[in-house]
Structure 1
Amino acid sequence: MSRKLKEPVFDDDDPEWTKEDFARARPPEEVLPPEILAQFKNTRGPQKAPTKVPVSLRLSADVLKYFKDTGPGWQSRIDEALRKIAKV
């Protein structure tokens, strides 16, 4: 999946907000009825795929540079390389 930045799309029907627009904006609790607000969850819900465990790992500078130089997703590529070694 490409994460390249794309040129912004300008839409006359949905112009960029100004400081005045932000100043006039109100939170949903002030403008929506309670029965509509109740339809929106306050949490994200359970993950569909198993979660990964955050760890602190010290790597050689050259190894880290190699993976970072390959672009976004370098942490997943390190995980994939370690999975191959661990044969999981």
Structure 2
Amino acid sequence: MPQTIKAKSGRVLVLPDAEEETQINAGIAADPDTFVPTDEQFQQFRRVSPGRPPLETPKELISIRLSPDVLNAFRATGKGWQTKIDAALKQWLQDHPELS
């Protein structure tokens, strides 16, 4: 019977037996895109954090109701439409300094 482990999700994973493990390792060794780093190469590795760096002044997540025509017009501009709404509101604040 094959050896199995249970993942946190509840999924049961079947582990490869010794023969399959040998075949897997042979395939890895034959692949020109894989390599085992030397100690010197390993020392040059550095940790990177995923994603963008934290913003100095992060935007606040809110819920706002907009007219369908306004929303559709901004959405029609494509990717970044929410940023364009933010820019339009910033411009409005510049045009109305008495409110700032």
Per the normalisation by structure 2, the TM-score is 0.42
Determine which structure has the larger strand proportion and give its number.
2
RCO higher in structure (CA 8 A, sep ≥6): 1
Choose 1 or 2 for highest CA Rg.
2
Determine which structure has the larger helix proportion and give its number.
2
